[in-house]
């Protein structure tokens, strides 16, 4: 589990929370929608590039991706456009 500093919510935290809400697995569309809902309800920013940020977060934290940063391996790429928590 990720250790998050108190008061600091990162994009990766939003993506993990979205997937947890979506029973651990979902299409990108459902993940985008859930992240947007969470951020809106918390009155946080909704940048125009939200979808790109979500995809980057998934890819950088998945050993299934060439963009993997080599740290927390949180996500599994199920098939095109679908991800789940490891």
- What are the pLDDT digits (tens) for 3-19? 544 567 899 999 999 99
In the three-class reduction of DSSP (H, G, I as helix; E, B as strand; rest coil), residue 77 is classed as: strand
Order across the sheet with 25-27: list the strands: 25-27, 82-85, 75-79
Instruction: Report pLDDT for 71.
Output: 87
User: Structure pTM?
Assistant: 0.88
């Amino acid at each position: 589990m990720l250790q998050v500093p108190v008061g600091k919510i990162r994009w990766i935290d939003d993506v993990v929370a979205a997937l947890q809400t979506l029973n651990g697995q979902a299409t990108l569309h459902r993940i985008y929608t859930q992240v947007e809902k969470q951020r809106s309800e918390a009155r946080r920013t909704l940048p125009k590039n939200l979808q790109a940020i979500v995809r980057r977060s998934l890819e950088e934290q998945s050993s299934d991706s060439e963009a993997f940063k080599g740290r927390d391996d949180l996500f599994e790429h199920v098939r095109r456009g679908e991800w789940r928590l490891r």
